[in-house]
């Protein structure tokens, strides 16, 4: 990334209206456009003119093909189209993730353990899906995990990815999140590279620093490489991070690839085990087989479709009473959730490397199926061998006896109705009995209604604009649409390819030195109670 390079002019693209610059990289610029039909905001990545040679164009086309293959995964940024603009520059139109990416958040925000575990399992599903297609990402880091408006992580930037058959190249990786073999002679990459990168990213989210960064010490590239190659991984330093999670991260970041988890799925299973240990909801792993069905990856083949440990593009039917899965027993490669209504450890095969069919290139179809209904605890199905056949009623001896019994039943019913009217004249019933909470009783309390997950979103700034002061400085101002006591603002020079943090200011204004390139840009968010705006706004002054 070169801060001195001015962004290229946004291209004219039929059906799209230019809105603003999102960021600039070494080979491309990313702009925000408004698509006219359907009307939505999209991020458009445009290759620079000087990089439109045959080799760079082929690499750009390869990235488009990879994104098209993977982008229907719920944790991979969706690509809408790829084409060539009227000025000859190729572009990719992709999903616009408006909230600050994890690279912009991990240094200034203390992320909770449940959130980090959830993100880890979700992204591991995306990485495993790519690996099953024979694709390595090779540059997993916080800045390459974007966040949608609904807080869902989305993996992006497959620009330096490669196939498993061409895994020897390791150029272009980000040093703080790269494993030791990336710096070997010759450098090597493989599945273990992505496992390390994801683990290093989760470590960064917990520790608010990269894994081998020394706070207050020298952290040059040479220092980081030396520590990555030989220094042991230090704990995150947080008291709320359990020892089991520290061990999982240390295993995923072992110095040799052979000592790490063999697959991203095995890493996800280990994270799920920590979720179970801490009594958190177990996050499903999203995977897709070639039929678009849920597949539980086991040594012996797919398990039951209703296993909550693995799913792909499936709408799972959830018990409305909120019953939590029971704690699973040990499994090879990590745990999976226990299905509601089953006994822990029953009906589950140990997980391992996938032996089923790989994912088809066409990820376009989403299968919507309800989970197979679980048996109600305490009941048995008609096919249960333990259920004795119901005794057959004896034939009546006489018709007269039958009439006598019927008459007695009528009298009994009348008596019950009379007693009910006398005892409960208001039409109500008897007081509801307290649930049996003795040992062995199966009691499920109704939970409170779920909270609105959008209620805490911090609004974006409005009316962001800048003025050239004529003295080599530019002053930017903005408005807070919903100001609250304690609100502050964060600003930075927009840069999607580098790890930079927002600088806090108290007032809605900031004066910057004019960029020598002739175009000065700023990115601004509102900070509220430790959380930034859901949408970072960017403005530039030529």
The torsion region of residue 323 among left (phi > 0), alpha (psi -120 to 50) and beta comes to beta
Active site residue 99: no
Q: Per the residue annotation, which of 118, 132, 138, 260 is the catalytic one? A: 138
Residues 6+ apart with CB under 8 A from 217: 223
Question: What are 21's strand-pairing partners?
Answer: 31
Angle ∠(504,100,313) on CA atoms, nearest 5 = 160
Q: Work out the angle between the directed axes of helices 243-252 and 264-277 (0-180°, nearest 10).
A: 170
Distance set, CA 241 to CA 202, 265, 305, 316, 508 (Å): 12, 22, 33, 30, 36
Alpha-carbon dihedral sign for residues 64, 70, 73, 76: negative
**How many CA atoms does the CB half-sphere of 504 hold within 13 Å?**
13
Strands, E, within 373-448: which ranges?
none
State the DSSP string of 274-288.
HHHHTTPPPPPEE--
Which stretches within 133-236 are classed as H helix? 191-207, 221-230
Contacts of 471 (CB under 8 A, 6+ apart): none
Please list, in sequence order, all residues whose beta carbon lies within 8 angstroms of the beta carbon of residue 265, skipping any fewer than 6 positions away. 124, 125, 128, 285, 287, 297, 310, 333, 351, 354
Coil, helix or strand at residue 330: coil
Q: Is the CA virtual torsion 337, 339, 340, 345 positive or negative?
A: negative
The C-alpha torsion from 487 through 493 and 498 to 501, rounded to 10°, is -20
Report d(CA 476, CA 478) in Å as an integer.
7
Show which residues are catalytic.
138
């Amino acid at each position: 990334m070169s801060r001195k390079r001015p962004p290229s002019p946004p291209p004219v693209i039929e059906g799209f209206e230019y809105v603003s610059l999102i960021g600039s990289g070494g080979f491309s610029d990313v702009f925000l456009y408004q698509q006219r039909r359907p009307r939505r905001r999209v991020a458009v990545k445009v290759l620079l003119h000087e990089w439109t040679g045959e080799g760079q164009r082929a690499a750009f086309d390869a990235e488009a093909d990879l994104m098209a293959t993977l982008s229907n995964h719920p944790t991979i940024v969706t690509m809408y189209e790829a084409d060539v603009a009227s000025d000859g520059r190729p572009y990719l139109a992709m999903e616009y993730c408006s909230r600050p990416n994890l690279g912009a958040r991990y240094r200034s925000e203390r992320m909770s353990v449940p959130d980090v575990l959830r993100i880890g399992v979700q992204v591991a599903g995306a990485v495993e899906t790519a690996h099953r297609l024979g694709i390595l990402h090779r540059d997993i880091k916080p800045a390459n995990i974007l966040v949608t408006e609904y807080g869902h992580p989305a993996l992006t930037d497959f620009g330096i990815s490669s196939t498993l058959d061409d895994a020897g190249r390791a150029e272009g990786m980000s040093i703080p999140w790269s494993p030791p073999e990336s710096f070997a002679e010759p450098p090597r990459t493989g599945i273990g590279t992505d496992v390390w990168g994801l683990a290093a990213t989760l470590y960064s989210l917990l520790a608010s620093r990269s894994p081998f960064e020394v706070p207050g010490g020298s952290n040059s590239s040479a220092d980081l490489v030396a520590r990555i190659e030989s220094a042991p991984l230090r704990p995150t330093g947080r008291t709320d991070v359990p020892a089991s999670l520290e061990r999982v991260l240390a295993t995923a970041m072992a110095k040799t690839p052979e000592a790490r988890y063999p697959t991203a799925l095995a890493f996800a299973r280990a994270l799920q085990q920590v979720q179970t240990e801490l009594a958190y909801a177990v996050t499903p792993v999203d995977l897709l087989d070639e039929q678009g069905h849920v597949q539980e990856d086991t040594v012996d083949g797919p398990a039951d479709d209703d296993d909550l440990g693995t799913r792909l593009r499936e709408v799972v039917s959830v018990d409305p009473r909120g019953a939590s899965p029971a704690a699973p027993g040990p499994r090879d490669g990590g745990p999976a959730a226990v299905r509601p209504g089953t006994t822990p450890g029953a009906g589950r095969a140990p997980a391992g490397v996938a032996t089923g069919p790989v994912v088809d290139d066409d990820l376009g179809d989403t299968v919507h199926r309800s989970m197979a209904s679980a048996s109600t605890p305490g009941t048995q199905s008609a096919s249960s061998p333990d259920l004795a056949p119901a005794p057959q009623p004896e034939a009546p001896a006489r018709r007269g006896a039958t009439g006598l019994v019927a008459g007695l039943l009528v009298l009994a019913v009348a008596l019950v109705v009379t007693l009910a009217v006398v005892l409960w004249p208001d039409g109500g019933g008897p007081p509801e009995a307290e649930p049996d909470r003795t040992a062995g009783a199966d009691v499920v309390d109704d939970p409170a209604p779920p909270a609105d997950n959008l209620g805490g979103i911090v609004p974006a700034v409005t009316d962001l604009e800048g003025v050239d002061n004529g003295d080599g400085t530019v002053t930017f101002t903005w408005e807070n649409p919903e100001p609250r006591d304690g609100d502050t603002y964060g600003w930075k020079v927009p840069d999607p390819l580098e790890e930079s943090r927002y600088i806090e200011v108290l007032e809605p204004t900031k004066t910057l030195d004019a960029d020598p390139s002739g175009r000065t840009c700023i990115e601004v968010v509102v900070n509220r109670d430790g959380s930034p705006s859901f949408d970072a706004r960017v403005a530039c002054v030529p």
